[in-house]
Structure 1
Amino acid sequence: MPSPTVPDRPDLALTPAGDADFEALLSLRLAAMRESLERVGRFDPQRARERLSRGYLPAFTRHILRRGELVGFVVVQPRENDLLLDHLYIHPNAQGEGIGSWVLSQVLKEADAQNKAVSVTALKHSDANRFYLRHGFVLKAEGEWDLYYLRPARE
């Protein structure tokens, strides 16, 4: 299934994150994931802090700004055979406005330019699963809590 067409968004920008941004991004992640994690009985702010701190790599982290305001962040790690979309979070107050689709379209353009696939993991029962399927990802594996997707490289 082809990815949906995403309109140009001059109100949105991706900007580099730094070491000092960790707490703000953790707060944003907690807000974005709270409902999905509570639904499966897994909301734990300490576990969320530990998971984000293990994978917080400012060099691969970008702020998502809407009209200059931080509304999310994305982490894309280059690997030998693919790009790992490690985090993509939009604050609940900004969800449902096409921001995630715009960000994902930027990530997919980067992957296409490098002729690489994109891998992503999503929590079971999360709305993110429909989002990734809608954007051309294919379910590859299932774990106890997560689903593992791949968007193949484009020729």
Structure 2
Amino acid sequence: MAKADVTRLSPPRDFRIVTGTALDPLELAELRAKAMRPSLEAAGRFDPDRVRRRFLDHFDAEATAAFYAGQDLAGFIVVRQMPDHLYLDHLYIAPDQQGAGLGAEIIRSVQEQMAEPTGQEIRLIALTGSPAGRFYQRVGFKQTGSDGIDDSYSWHPMSRDSRGNLG
């Protein structure tokens, strides 16, 4: 199975993109722990070592793109190629960058540069009750299920309306 090609992504506005072996997995794992902390604490499930370990145990540099503002890690994404869809495994934005549109720009890039050219659906899961679910719905994802711990979402290129807007 081919890999999802994150090198096709364009860096948003004033950010630079880093992919492949230039990535520092420990730096990414630390950002994941910081970004997930509020949601996991609210759910009574925050264990910083477990959060880092779960990311590092499955780290794949070829599926990962990090976004930097100067020398500071602003966020990162992991997109995996599955047999019939793209799986957005991780999207984390640094707390000081949240709310400024970076996450939406990254998602638009994945939609436009990875999913639309191939006609592939994008799927993901997000912690039930976390702000992530609302974010994904704002950028066009539809909730497709829930197991009480995680909610499932999907986006398909055909979900754009005739004016090109997400719907």
Task: Give the TM-score of the pair, scaled to structure 2.
Answer: 0.82
Deviates more, 1:41-50 or 1:117-126: 41-50
Partner of 1:4: none
Instruction: Quote how far apart the aligned CAs of 1:25 are.
Output: 0.6
Unaligned stretches of 5+ in structure 2?
1-10, 160-167
- Unaligned segments of structure 1, at least 5 residues: 1-7
The equivalent of 1:33 in structure 2 is 36
* Amino acid across the alignment from 1:33: M
Q: Which has the higher contact order (CA 8 A, sep 6+)?
A: 1
Q: Deviations over 1:54-111 (max 9, x none)?
A: 3211110011122453111100011121110000000101111100001111111111
Could you say which residue in structure 2 is the equivalent of 1:102?
105
TM-score, normalization: structure 1? 0.88
Once structures 1 and 2 are overlaid, which stretch shifts more, 132-141 or 47-56?
Answer: 47-56
Pair 1:45 & 2:48 matched = yes
Contact 2:32 2:52 in 1 (8 A): no
- Matched residue of 2:148: which SS? coil
Between the aligned residues of both structures, percent identity stands at 34
TM superposition outliers: structure 1 runs of 4+ over 4 Å: none
More moved, 111-120 vs 135-144: 135-144
Answer yes or no: is the 8 Å Cα contact 2:122–2:156 preserved in 1.
yes
Number of corresponding residues = 148
